[in-house]
Structure formats: C-alpha cells, structure tokens
Amino acid sequence: MKHAVVVELDKCVGCNACTAACKIKNKTPKDIFWRKIVEIEHGEFPDVKKTYFPLMCMHCENPECLKVCPTGATYRTADGIVLIDYDKCLGCKYCIVACPYMERFFNSGDDWSDWVSEGLKQAIPKGVVEKCDLCNDRVQDGQNPLCVDTCPYDALHFGDMDDSPIKHLIQDKKAWTLKEDDSYKPSVYYIGEIE
C-alpha cells in the first residue's frame, strides 16, 4: 500500500478553500502553510497563462528529510506517509535545508495568542519543524486528507497507488511529479500543463 495525491491543475481555480481548511484543522501559526497555492504565469500580456499550483509535502518514497534527521524524528509509515515525531524533534532544521520542495517549516513559537482565544491556539509545540502529515488521523480512519475532501472543484484525488482509481488516473492522464529526474519519488502527482 502506498498513498498518493493527484492534483488536476486544470480544475484548480485558486480559491484557497483547501488552504483555509488545512490551517484551521492543524492550527498552524501565522506564515506557516502545510499546503498553499502559488500562481505561475507564462507569457506576456495579453497572451498570458496563469496556473494555480497547489504545493504540499510530497511524501517522497526516498525522503531527503528523513536521511538528515539526527534523532529519527522524521519517519515514513508503511503506507507511505512521511511524519514527524514532535517529541523527538530538536528543531535543528537540517530537514528544512534538505527538503528539495521547501515544504518543511520551523515553528518559532509565534502563535495567534494575541488574535484568538485559548481553544484555537496552535497544536504543534514550538521549537520543532512541522509539515503536512497527509491528515494521517483521517487516513487511518479510512477518510481522505481534509484538503482533498474540501476542494469544491474535485481537483484533488487521494488513494492507494497499488489498487485504486488514482492509479489509472495517473497512467491515463500522464501525471507527472516535481523534480521527476531526481531520486526522491514524490507521492504527489500533477495532471496538466503549466505553460
């Protein structure tokens, strides 16, 4: 079993519902986004093409972050989710440097304390590195990651690479990954052109 996410770029309109759902669920502090949508422009006015490009932890099969972690805080589950044990993380930030996708974030302890009430403060302890956990709690419960279930446009798909519709989606629609030529083997696939 190996979990994967497929993003259909043609369907993403950049509404950021996924971003908001992720931030609310994971109570991430200011400026930390476990997932985000970046705008990519090609061409010049008026022949310009804008693409909304969702980014998140790629949950690599060969994660660089895991290799450099000195305490074993970063680990990969049997079903392909890369996680961080916050109790073991020292906040050394090696993984932030190592991640080829820049999808790891240091939690400096700045929170929403001057903005929101007690119950909504950040869930992750300060002084550690945090990132997308693919909603492991939901996935273990048989659900999709929250971003996938939130997307109003069905631009996001989740499933088992070994046995699910997304395996065929990846093959039929010629899905690709970021930094495909390297050895990281990300679990997040994209469908569609960006030019």
Tell me the pairing of strands 47-56 and 82-84.
Answer: unpaired
Structure tokens at 186: 């990300």
Residue 144 touching other proteins (CB under 8 A)? no
Residue 24 touching other proteins (CB under 8 A)? yes
Least CB distance from residue 132 to other proteins, whole Å? Answer: 16
Residues in the chain: 195
Least CB distance from residue 139 to other proteins, whole Å? Answer: 16
Q: Which stretch binds other proteins (CB under 8 A): 91-99, 115-123, 131-139, 157-165?
A: 115-123
CA dist., res. 72 & res. 130, Å (int)? 14
CA dist., res. 147 & res. 16, Å (int)? 10
Written as one letter, the residue type at 63 is P
Residue 10 touching other proteins (CB under 8 A)? yes
> Mask: binding to other proteins, 47-66, rule CB under 8 A, as x and -?
-xxxxx--------------
Q: 15 near 30, Cβ under 8 Å? A: no
Least CB distance from residue 28 to other proteins, whole Å? Answer: 8
Candidates 78, 102, 119, 171: give the one binding other proteins (CB under 8 A): 119
Q: What's the first-to-final CA gap in the chain, in angstroms? A: 33
Least CB distance from residue 24 to other proteins, whole Å? Answer: 6
- Map residue 82 onto helix, strand or coil: strand
Structure tokens at 75: 């680990």
Which residues of this chain interact with other proteins, rule CB under 8 A? 10-11, 13-17, 19-21, 23-25, 30-31, 33, 41, 43-46, 48-52, 112, 115-117, 119-120, 149-150, 152-153
